[in-house]
Every structure is written in structure tokens, then in C-alpha cells.
């Protein structure tokens, strides 16, 4: 009997000691990151002879653990996205940085100059405001570019961190697999804790999924299906230079054992901090930079073209106020040697520039295709423009494309299949410059004046004089001559009666014979089918023989008619393009301020969405943590109670051994 008591007591002491060790270990590791609470369970020995085999295990619910990883990825994504968005939002919400304020100040100076066109100081203020506006464009675009460079740096850092976790998981997999799955060599529980914690930290970088292998390994996959950790191996993330844009970091997968094995990553559902950086770049950073470039180019082109339609303070035809840069396309790595693409804003086409990058493809020896791409680099269906060329190298313009080549003309050289990514808007706001700093070059006056003869008997008057093209004409065409004048000017307009007119130059050559069906004399040159770079209408009812004189506006420095047109560009709703695709009957244009306001609104909207998403995902993550820790976390109160209970059990077990000893001694004494 004493032998059985001794066996029972000994097993009870050992079991209680193990339970005390497990509880003490839980308490000791309460602040250890990734530690999962352990519990030891015993089996009763057969025939009631004490405690049998004991097993120490981790208290973890696999479903809860996976939910915690998913919520960790979601929160990391929204937190990282919000951090990046807040920087850009603060940048553009500061009134001191407002491009809209700079544009309004420039147009205000035009209004002031229009009040007294001959004052040089007023014109100088236009030059100063133009330079200040370009400085704002340059500053804001540079700050956005800095954010882009920062994204590249963060991608490198997070990729390195992710690779560290991937390699750690793969190494722990090997160690765990080396123990096998049998009872003879139980897996150390701390290895499982370390592996789960490494997987959790990896889930902060990218959203992941896991599978259990038969040998005890954890296989880790991205949410998009690409493998990160496989049996007996792993893939590393690689932040590679983009193709074709080398300044744009792109993510790849590279097999650790063979660096030649590289796989593309579907970044649309990447998740985590890495996914947030990619999403922020696509949804906020790229659209912001593109809109800045679009407004800068369309504004500069519009002011250039309108200034060229006027007469400056020197009595000459106006010239451009701003210089517009040329842009090189990025060739794909698969392109033929020597392929190249250069694009420039075509004069007068700035309003047709969409807020998109373009893809230019050599379809054949005689065809070039230009397509607009969205923010994810996908071609926008229906945006294809195919231009026929005679061979390469070739120059293509809007005229070759039926009037719309997205605002650019191209010089291209390449072979069939060559492709180029054309991204002018990313740098345009930093590259627009001043073409002149002379206040005299501001062309506020109209280059044409039309006077009615004092002896006219009718009440016909000149109305709606519009100048459309001051390009110096070449004989036999009629129009302007450089630097100031009309071909064989002045011209004489004579009303012949019966709704007919005759326009002659100063040597008697007939320029046009407009004939109208009624007494509605609108756009005389257009009615006659003649283009001389300007047009006008006659209001009222002239008498037969009444004449009007058309001449260059020599000495008309106090004229502000073109200045009013320049100032009117501020509210013109056709100066910027909303989308690459135009819907019949739809609105596809806006003013400069409307386009800029839509950009700022987009930043604010996306930032607010990110703020709400971050709050929601934080709440979900805290709930998942509480759910996980309710089982796997260490509770000091619970462990303290267990410590007291197991201590009492240990003391009671020692009493069994003591009782066994007493009985044994009694038996010995009885047989002496």
C-alpha cells in the first residue's frame, strides 16, 4: 500500500511542479511580444496509480489568429495611407501655397492694367505676378515630387523589413520541421510563438494568407495568391526600377535560391503598409502631379495664344509670354535600339491636354497609335487615336489626328511593336518658364480697328470684332504681316445693297464678297468663306455705298480689347479638359480654377475617407486583439489564482509522500 501511495504522491508532486512551472512561465512572459499563454494538461494513470502523461500546449484559436492578421493588415494599410495623405492635404490646404490664389492675382493684374493700358507699371505687375505664379507651380510640384521620392525610399525600407520576416518564417519553418510531428520530439513552443509573431509582423507589410503543411511548416501567400514562403524555400520582395519609368519603384518577387526567377506582383490587393504606399501614389500623388502639370500647361498655352492675338506697347503683334518645355517618352525595355519619342505642347492645343499619361505604340511601318492610360497604367478603352505616317522618323500633329492628339505633337522613331510611356504632366509644372520679362510685350490692344466713314447714310456699325490668328500671311493669302500691318492694308468694306458687301485691299484687289440671305450681317469673312485671321459683324442697317475701313491698329496703345480677352480666360470654362474621352453632349471642360479646385477637393475627400477608414479599422483591430487575448493572452489575476491553487496541490502531494513514509515506517516496526 505504501508503495502505491509513494508512486501516486511522486507523480502528483511532479505534476504540480510542472503546473507551477507553466504558470510561472506565463507570468514571466506577460510582457514578451508574441508570447501565447500555455497550459499543461495531464492524463490519469491507469488503475488509479497517480498522474499519467502531461502535455503543455499553447492556448490559441487559429481562426482568431487569422482574423487578427487580417485586421492588422487592414489597419496598417489605412494608418500608412492616412499618414501619407495628411502630408499632401496639409500642403494644399495651406492658403499660402494656393495655386488658385496665384492665378487670381495674375488675372487681377490684367484687370488693373486694362484700366490704364499705357501705364508701364501696371504691365510690370503682370510680369511679377506671372513669375510668382510659376514659382508656386514649381514649389508645389517639387514638394509633391519629394513625396514621390519618399514613397520610393519607404518602399525600399518596408521591402527590407518584409524580407527579414519572410526569411525568419522560412528559417523557423525549417527548425520546426526538424522536430517532426511525433510525440518523441515535441516542438518547442517558443518556436511556434516566434513564427506566429513573425507572420503577424509580415501582415503589417502585406495582407497574407497561411496554410499548414504536413511537416508542420506554415506556407505563407499574399492575398493575391503569390507565394512568399513555400516548403523548403521562400521568395523575397524586390523594389525594382520601373519599366519603362526608372524613377518609379515597382514590386517584384524573387526566389531566394535562384535570383533569376522573378515574378510580377498584382499590387491592386497588396494590402498592408506596402499596399498603402502603392495606393496612395496611384490615388492621390499621381493625380495631384498630373493636375498641376495640366493646369500649368493649359494656362501658359492659353495666355500665349491670346497674347499673340493682340498688339503690344511697341505697336507690334504680340508674342508668347511663357516657354513650354518638350518632354521625352520612356521607352520600354523591349524596344528596338535607337527608338525615341519627344512630345511638345502644340500651340493652341493646351485645352485638349487630359489629366492622363499617354502610351504611344508603333503599330506598323505606317501607323502610330496614341492611347490615354488611367492611374493604374491601364489603357482607357475608346481613347485610341491612330495616325498614319510615311515612315520613321516621323512627326505627327493634331492635324494628322483629325484635330485632337491630346494637345501634343510628337517626333517618333522606332520599329514595329515599340512602345513609349509619355508622362509630361509629372514634371510640367516645374518646367514652364517666362518667355519675356519686358512689360512692353503684354499685348493688351487689339491689332485691328474698323472705322465707319463719317459720310455713311445708314446706321450700320461694326460689332463683334474677333481676332483668331495673327500668323503673318504669305501671298496670295490675306492677313497680318510681321511685325505690324495688314497685307495691302488698309482694306475697305463697302455695302452694295441687297444684303451684299465687297471687301477690297488698298490696291483694288477684291478680298471677299459676303452675301447674306437676310439683314443679319454676322461674321462677314466667314460668310464669304475667307479666313484672314479675324472677323467682324455689322449691326444696324447700312445704306448702299456706306463704307468701313479695316486697318492695323497703329498707335492704339490705349486700347484694352485684347486685355479684356486675356482677363476673360480666368472664367472661361473651356480652358482645361476633364477626361481623355469625350461624350457627345457631355461636359468635358472646365476653367483653370475649377480644375485646380477639383484636385484639392480630391485630396481632401481621399484624406477624409482614409481618416474614417483608419478609425474603423482601428476599432476592428482592438476588438480582434481582445478576442485573441481572451484566450491567448496572459491574465495576472488568473495566473495568480492558479499559482496559489497549484501550490496547494503541491503541498498536498508532499503530504501523500509523507503519509506513505509513515505507513512504511509503521510496517517496518511491526515486523521487528
Chain segment 453-505, per-residue pLDDT in tens = 999 999 999 999 999 999 887 655 789 998 999 999 999 999 999 999 999 99
Contacts of 367 (CB under 8 A, 6+ apart): 386, 387, 388, 389
What cell was used for 584? 457627345
Place of cell 507570468: 27
pLDDT tens, position by position, 43-89: 887 776 788 788 889 999 989 999 999 999 999 999 999 999 999 99
Quick check: bond before 587 cis, omega within 30?
Answer: no
> Is the model's pLDDT at 257 over the cut of 80?
no
Q: Among positive and negative, which fits the CA dihedral 97, 100, 103, 108?
A: negative
DSSP sequence for 631-661: HHS--HHHHHHHHHHHHHHHHHHHHHHHHHH
Residue 395: exposed, middle, or buried by beta-carbon count in 10 A (0-12, 13-18, 19+)?
exposed
Greatest mean pLDDT among 60-69, 127-136, 188-197: 127-136
Looking at residue 475, its pLDDT comes to 53
Looking at residue 428, its pLDDT comes to 96
Per-residue DSSP letter, 97:
G
What cell was used for 402? 483629325
> Is the model's pLDDT at 260 over the cut of 90?
no
Is this model's pTM higher than 0.75 or not?
yes
What cell was used for 184? 518523441
DSSP sequence for 30-68: TTSTT---EEEEEEEPGGG-SEEEEEEEE---HHHHHHH
Mean pLDDT of 609-635: 94
What cell was used for 395? 512627326
pLDDT tens, position by position, 316-363: 999 999 999 999 999 999 999 999 999 999 999 999 999 999 999 999
Looking at residue 145, its pLDDT comes to 92
624 band by pLDDT with thresholds 50, 70 and 90: very high
> Is the model's pLDDT at 1 over the cut of 60?
no
CB 511 within 8 Å of CB 505? yes
What cell was used for 85? 495623405
Mean of all residue pLDDT scores within the chain: 90
- Rounded-to-integer distance, Cα 274 and Cα 276, Å: 5
Looking at residue 183, its pLDDT comes to 62
Looking at residue 213, its pLDDT comes to 87
Task: Indicate the range of 404-408, 592-596, 644-648, 655-659 predicted with least confidence.
Answer: 655-659
- Rounded-to-integer distance, Cα 56 and Cα 39, Å: 6
Residue 230: half-sphere exposure toward Cβ, Cα within 13 Å: 11
Mean pLDDT of 124-149: 95
Task: Indicate the range of 48-57, 271-280, 505-514 predicted with least confidence.
Answer: 48-57
Expressed in angstroms, the distance from the first to the final Cα of the chain is 19
Per-residue DSSP letter, 95:
G
Q: Give Cα 149 to chain centroid, integer Å.
A: 13
What cell was used for 474? 504669305
Element (H, E) at 4: helix 2-28
What cell was used for 597? 479646385
Quick check: bond before 542 cis, omega within 30?
Answer: no
CB 215 within 8 Å of CB 254? no
CB 450 within 8 Å of CB 465? yes
- Rounded-to-integer distance, Cα 333 and Cα 336, Å: 8
CB 41 within 8 Å of CB 53? no
Looking at residue 202, its pLDDT comes to 94
Regarding beta strands 233-241 and 249-255, do their DSSP bridges make them parallel or antiparallel, or are they unpaired?
antiparallel
Looking at residue 129, its pLDDT comes to 97
Which of residues 284 and 583 earns the better pLDDT score? 284
Mean pLDDT of 531-557: 95
Looking at residue 416, its pLDDT comes to 94
CB 322 within 8 Å of CB 300? yes
Looking at residue 654, its pLDDT comes to 83
Q: At what angle do helices 561-568 and 99-115 cross, to 10 degrees?
A: 160
Looking at residue 252, its pLDDT comes to 80
CB 117 within 8 Å of CB 558? yes
Residues paired with 408 in a beta bridge: 345
Mean pLDDT of 282-303: 96
Mean pLDDT of 298-310: 97
Mean pLDDT of 253-276: 76
236 band by pLDDT with thresholds 50, 70 and 90: confident
- Rounded-to-integer distance, Cα 128 and Cα 439, Å: 9
264 band by pLDDT with thresholds 50, 70 and 90: low
Place of cell 504669305: 474
Which of residues 381 and 244 earns the better pLDDT score? 381
- Rounded-to-integer distance, Cα 26 and Cα 570, Å: 71
Strand, coil or helix: 142: helix
Write out 462-530 in H/E/C secondary structure.
Answer: EEEEEECCCCCCCCCCCCECCCCCECCCCEEEEEEECCEEEEECCCCCEEECCECCCCCECCHHHHHCC
Buried b (16+ CB within 10 A) or exposed e, 108-141: ebbebbbeebeeeebbbbbbebbeebbebbbebb
Which of residues 280 and 671 earns the better pLDDT score? 280
pLDDT tens, position by position, 554-579: 999 899 999 999 999 999 999 999 99
Looking at residue 476, its pLDDT comes to 58
Per-residue DSSP letter, 284:
I
> What proportion of the chain, given as a percentage, has pLDDT over 90?
72
Mean pLDDT of 624-637: 91
Instruction: Please count the residues of the chain.
Output: 672
> Is the model's pLDDT at 262 over the cut of 90?
no
Residue 58: exposed, middle, or buried by beta-carbon count in 10 A (0-12, 13-18, 19+)?
middle
> Is the model's pLDDT at 664 over the cut of 70?
no
Looking at residue 619, its pLDDT comes to 96
- Rounded-to-integer distance, Cα 190 and Cα 178, Å: 15
Amino acid at each position: 500500500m505504501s508503495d502505491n501511495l509513494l508512486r501516486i504522491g511522486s507523480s502528483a508532486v511532479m505534476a504540480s511542479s510542472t503546473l507551477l512551472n507553466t504558470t510561472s512561465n506565463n507570468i514571466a512572459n506577460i510582457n514578451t511580444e508574441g508570447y501565447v499563454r500555455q497550459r499543461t494538461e495531464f492524463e490519469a494513470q491507469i488503475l488509479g496509480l497517480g498522474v499519467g502523461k502531461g502535455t503543455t500546449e499553447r492556448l490559441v484559436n487559429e481562426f482568431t489568429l487569422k482574423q487578427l492578421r487580417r485586421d492588422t493588415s487592414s489597419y496598417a494599410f489605412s494608418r500608412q495611407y492616412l499618414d501619407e495623405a495628411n502630408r499632401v492635404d496639409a500642403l494644399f490646404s495651406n492658403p499660402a501655397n494656393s495655386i488658385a490664389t496665384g492665378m487670381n492675382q495674375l488675372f487681377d493684374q490684367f484687370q488693373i492694367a486694362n484700366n490704364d493700358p499705357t501705364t508701364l507699371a501696371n504691365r510690370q505687375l503682370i510680369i511679377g505676378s506671372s513669375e510668382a505664379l510659376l514659382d508656386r507651380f514649381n514649389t508645389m510640384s517639387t514638394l509633391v515630387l519629394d513625396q514621390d521620392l519618399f514613397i520610393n525610399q519607404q518602399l525600399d525600407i518596408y521591402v527590407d523589413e518584409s524580407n527579414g520576416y519572410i526569411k525568419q518564417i522560412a528559417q523557423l519553418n525549417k527548425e520546426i520541421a526538424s522536430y517532426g510531428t511525433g510525440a518523441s520530439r515535441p516542438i518547442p513552443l517558443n518556436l511556434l510563438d516566434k513564427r506566429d509573431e513573425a507572420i503577424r509582423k509580415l501582415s503589417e507589410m502585406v495582407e497574407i494568407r497561411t496554410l499548414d503543411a504536413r511537416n508542420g511548416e506554415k506556407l505563407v501567400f499574399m492575398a493575391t495568391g503569390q507565394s512568399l514562403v513555400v516548403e523548403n524555400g521562400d521568395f523575397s520582395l524586390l523594389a525594382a526600377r520601373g519599366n519603362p519609368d526608372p524613377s518609379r519603384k515597382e514590386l517584384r518577387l524573387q526566389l531566394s535560391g535562384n535570383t533569376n526567377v522573378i515574378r510580377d506582383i498584382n499590387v491592386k490587393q497588396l494590402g498592408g503598409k506596402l499596399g498603402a504606399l502603392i495606393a496612395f501614389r496611384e490615388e492621390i500623388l499621381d493625380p495631384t502631379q498630373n493636375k498641376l502639370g495640366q493646369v500649368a500647361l493649359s494656362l501658359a498655352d492659353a495666355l500665349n495664344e491670346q497674347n499673340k492675338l493682340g498688339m503690344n506697347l511697341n505697336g507690334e503683334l504680340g508674342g508668347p509670354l511663357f516657354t513650354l518645355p518638350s518632354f521625352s517618352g520612356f521607352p520600354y525595355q523591349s524596344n528596338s535600339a535607337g527608338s525615341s519619342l519627344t512630345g511638345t505642347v502644340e500651340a493652341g492645343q493646351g485645352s485638349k491636354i487630359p489629366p492622363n499619361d499617354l502610351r504611344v505604340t508603333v503599330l506598323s511601318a505606317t501607323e502610330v497609335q496614341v492611347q490615354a492610360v488611367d492611374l493604374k497604367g491601364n489603357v482607357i478603352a475608346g481613347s485610341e487615336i491612330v495616325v498614319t505616317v510615311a515612315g520613321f522618323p516621323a512627326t505627327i500633329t493634331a492635324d494628322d489626328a483629325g484635330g485632337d492628339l491630346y494637345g501634343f505633337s510628337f517626333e517618333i522613331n522606332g520599329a514595329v511593336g515599340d512602345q513609349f510611356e509619355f508622362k509630361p504632366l509629372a514634371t510640367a509644372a516645374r518646367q514652364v518658364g517666362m518667355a519675356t520679362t519686358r512689360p512692353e510685350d503684354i499685348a493688351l490692344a487689339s491689332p485691328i480697328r474698323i472705322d465707319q466713314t463719317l459720310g455713311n447714310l445708314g446706321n450700320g456699325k461694326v460689332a463683334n470684332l474677333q481676332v483668331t490668328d495673327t500668323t503673318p500671311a504669305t501671298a496670295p493669302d490675306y492677313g497680318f504681316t510681321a511685325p505690324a500691318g495688314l497685307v495691302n492694308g488698309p482694306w475697305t468694306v463697302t455695302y452694295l445693297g441687297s444684303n451684299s458687301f465687297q471687301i477690297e485691299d488698298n490696291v483694288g484687289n477684291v478680298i471677299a464678297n459676303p452675301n447674306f440671305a437676310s439683314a443679319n450681317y454676322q461674321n462677314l469673312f466667314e460668310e464669304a468663306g475667307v479666313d484672314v485671321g479675324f472677323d467682324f459683324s455689322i449691326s444696324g442697317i447700312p445704306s448702299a455705298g456706306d463704307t468701313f475701313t479695316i486697318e492695323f491698329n497703329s498707335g492704339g496703345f490705349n486700347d484694352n480689347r485684347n486685355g479684356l480677352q486675356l482677363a476673360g480666360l480666368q472664367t472661361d470654362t473651356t480652358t482645361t479638359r476633364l477626361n481623355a474621352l469625350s461624350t457627345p453632349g457631355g461636359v468635358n471642360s472646365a476653367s483653370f480654377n475649377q480644375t485646380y479646385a477639383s484636385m484639392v477637393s480630391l485630396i481632401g475627400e481621399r484624406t477624409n475617407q482614409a481618416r474614417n477608414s483608419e478609425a474603423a479599422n482601428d476599432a476592428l483591430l482592438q476588438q480582434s486583439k481582445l478576442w485573441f487575448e481572451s484566450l491567448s493572452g496572459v491574465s495576472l489575476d488568473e495566473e495568480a489564482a492558479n499559482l496559489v491553487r497549484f501550490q496547494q496541490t503541491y503541498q498536498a502531494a508532499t503530504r501523500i509522500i509523507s503519509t506513505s513514509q509513515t505507513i512504511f515506517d509503521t510496517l517496518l516496526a511491526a515486523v521487528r
